[in-house]
Amino acid sequence: MNGARWLAQALVAEGVDTLFGYPGGAIMPFYDALHDTPQLRHVLPRHEQGAAYAANGYARASGRVGVCISTSGPGASNLVTGIADAMVDSVPMVVITGQVPTALMGTDAFQELDVFAMTMPMVKHNFIARRVEDLPTMLGEAFRLARSGRPGPVLIDLPKDVQLADASQLPEHVSLGTDAVEQPKDASLHAALAMISQAQRPVIYGGGGINLGSAVQQFRTFVDATQIPTVLTLKGLGALPTQHPLNMGMLGMHGSRAANLAVQEADLLIVVGARFDDRATGKLAEFAPQARIVHMDLDACEIGKLRQADVGVRGDLITTLTKLTLPCAAHLHGRNGTARKAWRSQCKQRAQQYAPRYNAPGEGVYAPALLKRISELAPNAIVACDVGQHQMWVAQHWQMSHPQKHLTSGALGAMGFGLPAALGAQEACRDAQVVCVSGDGSIMMNIQELATLKRYRLPVKIVLLDNQALGMVRQWQELFFDKRYSEVDLSDNPDFAAVAEAFGIQALRVDKAAGVDAALQALLNADGPALLHVPIDTAANVWPLVPPNHNNAQMLDPSHTEQETTDALPA
């Protein structure tokens, strides 16, 4: 029993069943130990970044801790972007990196990097195991920290000699579980109730903390009971189903017109598990200028960080929402009820008036319509997005049923996320329909993971929107840089269908709107992994768009005039 074998058995005791990793010299003892640990399924992506994103997707889709492994040096540094993504999107991960033997640390040995210092700003905590006796405490703490409170990644740097050291004296590993969640104070709940009861134009602003706190059902009950119009962040999408009558849509830079106007006119924002991100608020000084703020969050650091809260309610969102639901409903249906009813009707009318239009002219494929349609054909699918225009189209047009089924690189905006995250989600949810939506720029960043899909027969379905450009950058250069296009041309893309087939992946293609339904049906019915290549118009843009340093009422959208927006706002 050496350190590596003890670690493998301890991972099993923590409930881990799947690892994503790439072997190398400094982590080789652990890979040898996998021979004796059949309870651990190891998935070999073709790049360490793919391993980190796969563990990330596994955790997002399942709610469990994702685990990824690499060797030292370049293996560890290749994990960094995936670790950073997990940190800023609050994804529970444990990352184990091999390290040169302790006697060589600090000598610039072959494949030595100070991964401890390198990752310190982007983890909840990190450890260096300098003795085999350190392993029990470190592993238990790593998993406890990763999944407790606001989740996030934790890293263990594991020197090779510690892996090889005698561990026969170490105890069997016992999980430390998860810390108890702090409960909201009664005084803050009473203050929130008093403020909510006074509002005439309230709006609920829901974010990713709803899903992180396992409070989706309580959030839906709160919305239904209070009948308050609701807007959602990118990470909050699905907390209310897309078709819910009180769901005004996503707010922010590419949010819906109905959502942004509601927030700008509200006299109270009930913020639930959201953090006033700049992409959601636009120009912060002009965000919701008439609104008082009730901010509910587990993380005290978020309350008052960017917008001062009139009432801050720190604690478990399940308890907070449950305790406020009936009292809020009773108060809201009493005093000021007439004003709130008129407000609700106005918000719903705007949602209908500014609903997306899918009757785009021309014979070509209209990406928003295609994405809406595939979400209707596969209503229970998990969708994993890359980053760019297609990411925003998914957010705007996919019919979301639950936030755990929408995997997207939110705060980091990391291209190359979608494909490996999708394969991680498929490993976590073996019977689920998993769809990866990518663009021609993003897919090339981790296209090697097509080989992983093929090897493990993971039936991920890929929708590749190909506009032969770095679309979001091109759109910004068009709008804000006088059409001075710089390094966005991807017209020399490979034949993506041929590339997929070279990896052994079934490939389909559709370039006409009339063929979309048949192509999507064929994609979803394909046996095993498959890719649908969809050429689209290079000039297609994402609308609406709030320009930088503007407030959310100042939306650009060719389908609606500026005067319509102005007329919709109060005098």
Known catalytic residues?
A: 48, 110-111, 160, 472
| DSSP H helices in 14-90 | 28-33, 48-62, 74-88
Alpha-carbon gap, residue 230 to 216, rounded angstroms:
14
Phi-psi region of 226 (alpha: psi -120 to 50; beta: other; left: phi over 0): alpha
Q: Tell me the three state secondary structure of residue 371.
A: helix
Neighbours of 171 (CB within 10 A): 8
**Is 176 within 8 Å of 144 (Cβ atoms)?**
yes
Q: Which residues make beta-bridge pairs with 68?
A: 20, 95
Q: Where on the phi/psi map is residue 500: left (φ > 0), alpha (ψ -120 to 50), or beta?
A: alpha
CA–CA distance, 141 with 174 (Å, rounded to integer): 11
Task: Pull the structure tokens for residue 125.
Answer: 């905590």
The Cα 281–Cα 49 span in angstroms is: 31
Phi, psi of 243, deg, nearest 5:
-85, 5
- What values do phi and psi take at 429, rounded to 5? -125, 80
Torsion sign over Cα 129, 134, 140, 144: negative
Signed CA dihedral, 67, 69, 75, 76: sign only: positive
Question: What is the total residue count of the chain?
Answer: 571
Give the integer Cα–Cα distance in Å for 406 and 400: 7
User: Could you give the 3-state DSSP secondary structure of residue 198?
Assistant: helix
Helices (H), 489-528: 496-502, 516-525
Tally of CA atoms within 13 A in the half-sphere of 418 that contains its CB: 29
Is the preceding omega at residue 184 within 30 degrees of 0, hence cis?
A: no
Residues 6+ apart with CB under 8 A from 434: 381, 382, 383, 384, 422, 425, 426, 458, 459, 460, 461
Distance CA 363, CA 390 (A): 20
66 in Cβ contact with 424 (< 8 Å): yes
